[in-house]
């Protein structure tokens, strides 16, 4: 049954300063594109009752370069990532990931900052961000913190964010090496991933998986074995010890393990 809206409170901010001022004084749950949050509302599982609508904070939509760092505003939608010449040049696998999020309707509203904040282990953009050591930029009324994405999640749907903070941007350091992204779902569009993987092929490869653990994960032992010259069979064995997928409504642990190791092989072959 849908959550009754009569008990919900909403405030809207039209600038970052206004939004951070509201969050300093009281506890509000930010809403951006609402594509995840509203599903919970429609299914009656929405816990928060007070919301801060930040959709109109246009200063958080910019995609720009700061020296060699690609800076993606938290409210950049998947559609704007797909259309961005900068993202296409610097981080093409994020364009690929964005194309596979939902359909155009979701891509037009869903935001990169929202995908990070929602903290789903199946978030399509998160392995991309983890594989390139992206940095989550958090701002509060009096402070800014920069947290590597690999340190941002502390457990299932849990992050280091404080209630008075907003994600304002995601910083992408320069990426050397070939980028590779693959999502395996039930169908090509409109599917939540059973397994999602992003990799960068360099002397030390960087590989991240979604949907195999309570959070997005890097697989440092697998990366290390490949960097040390292990063949792909050995690396796949290392991977199968390093991840622990579970059975859930979308897939089984056994299937996920098989597909994860197959995707590791595919990554290695296609980027070799």
Partner 1 sequence: MKFVLNGASTDVKAHPMARLLDVLREECGLTGTKEGCGEGECGACTVLINGEPVCSCLIPVVQVESADVLTIEGLGDDHPLQHLFMNEVGAQCGICTPGMIMAAIALGPAPTLDDVKTALAGNLCRCTGYSAIYRAVLKWREMPVANISASATR
Binding site for partner 1 (CB under 8 A): 2, 5-6, 8, 10, 12, 31, 33-35, 38-39, 41-43, 51, 53, 55-56, 79, 102-106, 108-109, 188-190
In angstroms, rounded to a whole number, what is the distance separating the alpha carbons of residues 61 and 19? 15
In angstroms, rounded to a whole number, what is the distance separating the alpha carbons of residues 48 and 212? 28
* Cβ nearer to partner 1, comparing 33 with 205: 33
Q: How far is the CB of 32 from partner 1 (least distance, A)?
A: 10
Query: Which residue's entry shows tokens 């059973």?
Result: 194
Q: How far is the CB of 94 from partner 1 (least distance, A)?
A: 18
Assign residue 256 a region: left if phi > 0, alpha if psi is -120 to 50, beta otherwise?
alpha
* Cβ nearer to partner 1, comparing 8 with 65: 8
DSSP state of 231: -
Q: How far is the CB of 235 from partner 1 (least distance, A)?
A: 32
Closest residue by Cα to residue 201 from 259, 270, 263: 270
Query: Could you tell me the two tokens for 141?
Result: 């009324």
Q: How far is the CB of 204 from partner 1 (least distance, A)?
A: 36
* Cβ nearer to partner 1, comparing 31 with 259: 31
Rg of the chain, C-alpha, whole Å = 19
- State the alpha helices, DSSP H only, in 141-252: 149-152, 220-227, 232-242
Q: How far is the CB of 36 from partner 1 (least distance, A)?
A: 9
* Cβ nearer to partner 1, comparing 5 with 269: 5
Q: How far is the CB of 109 from partner 1 (least distance, A)?
A: 6
* Cβ nearer to partner 1, comparing 63 with 238: 63
Q: Could you tell me the end-to-end alpha-carbon distance of the chain, in angstroms, rounded to an integer? A: 51
* Cβ nearer to partner 1, comparing 100 with 222: 100
Determine how many CB atoms are found less than 10 A away from the CB of residue 176.
Answer: 9
* Cβ nearer to partner 1, comparing 28 with 267: 28
Q: How far is the CB of 185 from partner 1 (least distance, A)?
A: 12
Query: Could you tell me the two tokens for 98?
Result: 């964005």
Give the DSSP H/E element, type plus range, for residue 197: strand 195-201
Query: In this structure, are residues 197 and 223 in contact, taking their beta carbons and an 8 Å threshold?
Result: no
């Amino acid at each position: 049954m849908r959550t009754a809206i009569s008990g919900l409170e909403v405030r809207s901010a039209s600038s970052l300063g206004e939004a951070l001022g509201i969050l300093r004084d009281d506890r509000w749950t930010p809403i951006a594109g609402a594509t995840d949050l509203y599903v919970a509302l429609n299914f009656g599982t929405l816990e928060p009752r007070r919301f801060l609508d930040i959709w109109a904070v246009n200063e958080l939509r910019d995609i720009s370069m700061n020296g060699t760092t690609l800076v993606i505003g938290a409210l950049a939608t998947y559609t704007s990532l797909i259309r961005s010449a900068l993202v296409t040049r610097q981080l093409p696998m994020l364009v690929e990931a964005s194309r596979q999020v939902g359909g155009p309707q979701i891509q037009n509203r869903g935001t990169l900052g929202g995908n990070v904040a929602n903290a789903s282990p199946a978030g399509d953009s998160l392995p991309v961000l983890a594989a390139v050591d992206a940095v989550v930029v958090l701002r509060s009324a009096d402070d800014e913190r920069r947290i590597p994405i690999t340190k941002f999640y502390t457990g299932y749907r849990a992050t280091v964010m404080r209630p008075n903070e907003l994600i304002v941007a995601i910083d992408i350091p320069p990426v050397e090496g070939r980028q590779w992204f693959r999502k395996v779902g039930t169908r090509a569009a409109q599917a939540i991933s059973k397994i999602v993987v992003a990799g960068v092929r360099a002397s030390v490869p960087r590989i991240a998986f979604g949907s195999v653990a309570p959070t997005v994960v890097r697989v440092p032992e697998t990366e290390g074995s490949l960097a040390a010259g292990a063949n792909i069979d050995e690396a796949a064995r290392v991977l199968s010890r390093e991840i622990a997928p579970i059975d859930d409504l979308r897939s089984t642990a056994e299937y996920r393990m098989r597909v994860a190791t197959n995707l590791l092989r595919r990554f290695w072959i296609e980027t070799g």
